[in-house]
Amino acid sequence: MKTKDRDKDTNVKEKANLKEKPNLKEKAVENKIKKWLKNKGYWFFKVHGSIFQPAGIPDILACINGKFVAVEVKRTKGGIVSPLQKAQIEKIKENGGIAGVASSMEEFLEILKEGRLL
């Protein structure tokens, strides 16, 4: 590859990184959050919905510095939070837990900041 072509390819990649938000699937966002929690040494659990549990339980439950944290993960574009999910998040907050919806790593960290965990 010629130097000029490589520079052009690099510029295209750099411009792609400047987009507001990449269109990440829910699983990709979830994996980033789980990796962060694991690297920090926090306890967490990925909820897999089933008929044996109440509906609307957030996707990731964690314990961070003694605080209960619940995160509903959505894809970056078009993720819709159901009324049941909203109700569960509010119930957790009413009872002193930290809960929210994250469609990116930045939104997850913002939930933790609002809960005074960062």
Q: What percentage of residues in the chain have a pLDDT greater than 90?
A: 72
What is the spatial distance between Cα 35 and Cα 38, in angstroms, rounded to a whole number?
A: 5
Nearest alpha carbon to residue 99 among 41, 21, 38, 47: 47
Q: Which one-letter DSSP state was computed for residue 6? A: H
Torsions phi, psi for 5 (to 5 deg): -65, -40
Digit-coded pLDDT (tens) for 29-65 = 999 999 999 999 999 999 998 899 999 999 999 999 9
Q: What 3-state DSSP class applies to 117? A: coil
CB atoms within 10 A of CB 37: 20
Can you say whether the dihedral through the CA atoms of 43, 49, 53, 57 is positive or negative? Answer: positive
Q: Give pTM, 2 decimals.
A: 0.79
